[in-house]
Amino acid sequence: MADDDERNLKLDTARALFRVYDLAPVIYCTLSEPGLILQAYPSAAKLLGAACGELPGQPLARYILNEDQDIYSLLRKRLIETGDPQVCELRLLKPDGAQCWVQLVASTAQDAGGGPQLRIALSDVTGRKLAEQQRQHLIDMNPGVIYTCRTSGDFGATYVSEQVENMTGYKPQAFVGNASFWLDHVHPDDRETALKGLSALFEAGRHTHEYRFLHADGGYRWVHDRLRLARDAQDHAAEIVGMWMDITEQKQNQEALHQFAATLEEEVGARTRQLRALAAELTMTEECERRTLAQELHDNFAQLLAAIKIKLASIDLDSLESWVRDVEGQIDWAERSLRIVIGQLSPPILNSPGLGPILEWLAGDMERGYGIAVHVHDESAPKLLDETRRTIVYRCVRELLINVARHARVASAEVTCLADAGRLMVAVSDEGCGFDAANVLAARPCATGFGLLSIRERIVSFGGSMDIHSAPGEGSTIVLMLPLSGRTAEARAP
């Protein structure tokens, strides 16, 4: 009777143990030393995709994916050689072709007779592995570098994504294997700021800062570092999670933009000063023209009118005919003087549509007024300009010729006029004493005429340019380039 009770107790215990193993989240089975399944519970059969009765006598390797056979073989070899428990993760292949990831924990044991056995515990980790693969995929797709660090001690890196090699030239192991590697490669001027960033992280839970990091090629890269403090269920700091982004190009663009803004500001300032100088020059020019006109009227017409008035007051009837002729002569002279003044203010020749006749008239006027012979070289093609452009070219060439007459110390000058590809070229040249163009342009505005600065500004305002070729003792040639008017383009079109 006692033997039956003991046998029933053992049977009940075995059944209870069977139910415990079968319902456990970890699946257990027993293998022989060669790797054949000796005992497996229904949960193991379900995981392996086979009937429970089919498992005994089958090698466990039969259910392992071919690509992971080496992992399993190495585990068995180490287990038998050392006797120490071994752990690995591999994939099982079910008869229907389905795969699942398992964590395999193996240890040695003995059967009832003392023979060697292997105890295997299998845990389905497919969900975790898929999550890890998805996370790794997201990390690989991210252009930045993902990393994790310890929250105390040396704050060393525990993980750095593969992108760090592209960004810094160093492999992830360089960061993980050396706690001081990161700080040692931060620019010396940025280290204090970077360390303060860690303090700010623990205060606010997140922090963003920028610093320079030494690349493997010896140059520095700008890094945008975004950190977040991960906490566990007890709200304790568990891990620092961060991401690096290479912002070197952005920083370079910002610096280039800053330099461009500074250069532009300097150029605007210089341009403003130049325009102020031009405004002052124009004011002086206008005042000079007024003075010249006033002097002409005073010296000629005022005195002439006074003389006529005196003549009228001293009429001698006996010599009336002679007196009338004298007065007529004075009036004729006044008319000629008036025409000269009008011609200086606005020559009627400017109403001519062609530039050639205007330059020829100007040459004659310069010889009459300044005693300098001007030779005009004009191609036969017509150069029709609108009224504004004709006036600008006339005034500029006149001022250049006056400069030659006053300063070049020569008796002649040449004016060359050409038109090509929709542009007009007028060159005024002489073989006189020449000058230093840079010094002349930088000098105080001329008080007796337009001056080179004003001439250049007028030409540039119409989309043209002025080139000066001169040196002391070598004469001078000043070339004015100006787009032809729309009317000219139409006249020359086939």
Do 16-123 and 351-492 come out as alike in CATH topology? no
- With 50 as the cut, is the pLDDT of residue 295 above it? yes
Minimum mean pLDDT range among 51-65, 287-301, 433-447 = 287-301
Sheet arrangement for strand 423-430: 373-378, 412-420, 423-430, 476-483, 465-470
The pairing of beta strand 373-378 with beta strand 412-420:
parallel
Q: Which residues pair with 222 in a beta bridge?
A: 212
**Domain locations in the chain as residue ranges:** 16-123, 142-246, 351-492
147 with 139: CB under 8 angstroms?
A: no
Sheet arrangement for strand 86-93: 37-40, 27-32, 116-124, 99-110, 86-93
Q: Tell me: the pLDDT tens digits for 78-120?
A: 999 999 999 999 999 888 888 999 999 999 988 878 888 999 9
Mean pLDDT over the full length of the chain: 81
Q: Which residues pair with 206 in a beta bridge?
A: 228
Sheet arrangement for strand 237-246: 157-160, 145-149, 237-246, 220-231, 206-214
425 with 418: CB under 8 angstroms?
A: yes
State the CATH class of domain 16-123. Answer: alpha beta
**For the domain with range 351-492, which CATH number is right: 3.40.1390.10, 3.30.565.10, 3.40.430.10, 3.40.50.2020?**
3.30.565.10
- With 60 as the cut, is the pLDDT of residue 452 above it? yes
Rounded to two decimals, what is the model's pTM? 0.43
User: Which pLDDT band holds residue 401 (cuts at 50, 70, 90)?
Assistant: very high
State the CATH class of domain 142-246. Answer: alpha beta
